[in-house]
Structure 1
Amino acid sequence: MWLTGATVIDGTGADPVPGQAVLVEDGRIAALGGTPPAGADVLDLTGLYLTPGLIDAHVHLGLSSDLDKLSTSRQLSVAEIAADMFANCRRTLDSGFTTVRDTGGVDDGIARVVADGRVPGPRILHCGPILVQTGGHGYLGAEWDSAEDWDARQVPGLFALSLLSDGPDSVRRNAREAFRRGAGFLKMCVTGGVVSRHDKLTDTQFTHDEIATAVAEARARGTYVTVHAHNNEGLRTAIDAGAKCVEHGSAVDAEMAALMAEKRVALVPTLAVAHALLKDSTEAGLPAHIGERVGHVIDGQADAIRAARAAGVLIGSGSDYIGPNQDHRGHELVLRSEIESPMQALVSATRDNARVLRIGDEIGTIEPGKLADLAVFGGDPLADPLVFDDPRQVKVVLQLGRVVKDIR
């Protein structure tokens, strides 16, 4: 396939190249520029803007339904849960996101049906169920529910938000269970969270030994532990125990950023969900008062991005959307553009996210040898970042060199 006429923004931070041709062969980018080989299929992208396929490093595809109906009142059938997840996968791909990292809610069943083409969607890397402590963030059951009742809400092969893990032995068992279900990494919640029923943002969760146990299990599999963290006390414990990625990081300051840089710990901010919950948490099926818990999270994450950038921390990009309205993943790039720049927002959502996911040798930039996961926009997102947030502006999407969306 010969892609011609587009302005190429390659994801490395280099200046855009107008009219840069791209040759795709066998699902990979074979060459930039030159002349088309005989018999090549020509995709005319004149006047459009070509970028690497976007990557969302913090999604919850398993939480694609009304959360109250899904987790508390249990009003949804398995068929309804699956239908909502499959629709979310399709919308995510149509928005230009060709890869996502699911940080809690799915297991390998959904990843497999998307990977083999039975359901349209992005490439899915996932942690399986999150490891959470009893009463901690990631447990959405009511106060009167038992732990056994929470475990019974899992749908094997489709949905499992979290496993209650108390003590190193329990953490070890559940880490191994997550890997058995196809996890590519582990996630733990080491502080309270915004979407919580039983804790505060200032709470710390899990001990050093518990986190170190998960880290040991991840290292044995050649992978890593990422942690949900909204305060630095819990985050410091997690980094000391060997965690290599931080989700949210709303309290990260210059001192913490320096530690993260020293220990090569990445940061994945999640601005979009905080803005959505502040606006109306009931749209996700959450109580209205949840919006009040957002507190300093929005400004805190903005400050964390600036501190982390100054320290040289690898910074990714994640939307963290939950509930049925996950149509605007690109809003994360709009919000990041306001803090840094549209180019930096794009680099974070492509090259740097690929590095966070540890697949930077395969995706994230438009370079020969990389997989041909590509997004084509109708307008210049560097001049107008709102283009990132409009699925109608995503004119073409290629996944492994195949056109999966074309509305030119």
Structure 2
Amino acid sequence: MARFEVVGATVVDGSGRDPADVDVTVEDGRIAALGTSGAHGERLDAGGLTMTPGLIDAHVHLGLSSPIQPQFSFQLSAAEIAADIFATAGATLDAGFTTVRDTGGIDGGVVTTIAKGKVRGPRVLSCGPVQCQIGGHGYYGAAWEPTELWNSHHIPGLAALSTMSGNADELRANVREAFRRGASFLKLCVTGGVVGAHDRLTDTQFTVEEIAVAVQEAAARGTYVTVHAHNNEGIRNAVEAGARCVEHGTDIDEPTAILMATHGVALVPTFAVVEHLLHDPAQAGLDESARSRAQGVRERMTRALATAKQAGVRIGLGSDLIGPAQHRRGEELRLRAHLETPMDTLVSATKTNAEILGLSGQVGVIAPGLQADLVLWNGNPLEDPALFADPANAIVVVQSGRVVKDLR
């Protein structure tokens, strides 16, 4: 792989340190050196641009890139669903996100197809289908549709949103099936959700004993469980069972935050999806009920973020965007930067997310030896975080040492 040097950029390395004007040398897909190397090779002129690590979105749904209700009522062909998934993957890369954690919707074939370079997209870690209890969050079949028909909505190798379990034994079988199909971690829904038709945010789902089965199976494979959870009872059940991460965490109170911090459980808030549902649920292919379910969530999630931060919880960043309009994934950084410093937000989207995903020491920071995942921004997003939200401001994107986007 070619060696080149990026010169002239202001480097924000993702660690939280102050920006520095240093050159970055890339060789064999990795960062070889910081500072002028004097090496021969191509020079990439980045004068006036700001360099950050490739961004990481810890909560994506590539498999929900089509309008939601038509997708789950057999109105769309597999070809159209595939086209939407791969278009979203490319748009994610163009927005400056070089790594994502897919928290439900794609099957293993999408991960390997992107990894082989057959379509453009970020590095993808996937849980495969989300693990849900019968009648719980993650089920989008019609009310009259028998549960056993739900798997007919799966498209092998492409899309598989969720599998339903009625007890611990069924959950164990479904978890093992998820791993067989390529999952690298597990996700369980342990409370109701905002985008759901058969549950409420106040519902708890799965018992501690059931969640512990998934934790046991994940640990046997050297990986972890994250949980979709909005209310405190569901979060506490998951922490007691050994889950390592909480998605959303809308109603986290102080005792729950302290419990999470004590057990080393991370939090991934998701503001962008709430903003989109409050503004235009139809854009995601959902009806007006989604807007009413999202009312008040943004304010409560804001309080939960502050409470978790005060307790010392490790906090990542995820957009949770659904439907066709996923090209402005950086909106999550813009929204978060209004609630904390832009530097804190960037660290969440790089170094901290890499830790949560189990990729610490591989990506997330601009340092010698790490993968050369880099983004050159038009301007300084620490001074104007709105730059993160517009993919046109990601002038150059480098993934594993390859320039995959260049608007210079």
| TM score, norm. by length of structure 2 | 0.98
CA distance, structure 2, for counterparts of residue 35 and residue 363 of structure 1:
22
Match of 2:390 in 1: 390
Match of 1:364 in 2: 364
Match of 2:15 in 1: 12
CA distance, structure 2, for counterparts of residue 364 and residue 173 of structure 1:
34
Q: 1:234: Cα distance to partner?
A: 1.0
Q: Where has structure 1 moved over 3 Å in runs of 4 or more?
A: none
Match of 1:50 in 2: 51
Matches within 5 A, 1:7-406: 7-18=10-21, 20-38=22-40, 40-71=41-72, 73-406=73-406
CA distance, structure 1, for counterparts of residue 301 and residue 367 of structure 2:
31
Q: How many residues align?
A: 405
| TM score, norm. by length of structure 1 | 0.98
CA distance, structure 2, for counterparts of residue 198 and residue 390 of structure 1:
35
The C-alpha deviation readout for 1:177-221, integer Å capped at 9, x for no partner, is 000010010000000000000011000000111101000000000
Q: Which amino acid aligns with 1:33?
A: G
Q: 1:296: Cα distance to partner?
A: 2.6
The C-alpha deviation readout for 1:352-385, integer Å capped at 9, x for no partner, is 0001101011000000011001111001000100
| SS of the residue 1:326 aligns to | coil
Q: Which amino acid aligns with 1:56?
A: D
**Aligned-residue CA RMSD (Å):** 0.7
CA distance, structure 2, for counterparts of residue 224 and residue 14 of structure 1:
30
Q: 1:105: Cα distance to partner?
A: 0.3
Q: Which amino acid aligns with 2:62?
A: L
Match of 1:2 in 2: 5
Residues 2 and 36 in structure 1, CA contact (< 8 A), matched pair in contact too: no
CA distance, structure 2, for counterparts of residue 275 and residue 259 of structure 1:
28
Residues 23 and 36 in structure 1, CA contact (< 8 A), matched pair in contact too: no
CA distance, structure 2, for counterparts of residue 171 and residue 361 of structure 1:
33
Q: Which amino acid aligns with 2:137?
A: H
Q: Which amino acid aligns with 2:238?
A: A
Segments of structure 2 that go 5 or more residues without pairing to the other structure are none
CA distance, structure 1, for counterparts of residue 178 and residue 172 of structure 2:
10
CA distance, structure 2, for counterparts of residue 295 and residue 200 of structure 1:
13
Residues 132 and 163 in structure 1, CA contact (< 8 A), matched pair in contact too: yes
Q: Which amino acid aligns with 1:361?
A: G
Q: Which moved more, 1:300-309 or 1:324-333?
A: 300-309
CA distance, structure 1, for counterparts of residue 38 and residue 182 of structure 2:
41
Q: Which amino acid aligns with 1:212?
A: A
Q: Percent identity?
A: 58
CA distance, structure 1, for counterparts of residue 190 and residue 37 of structure 2:
53
| SS of the residue 1:247 aligns to | strand
Q: 1:259: Cα distance to partner?
A: 0.4
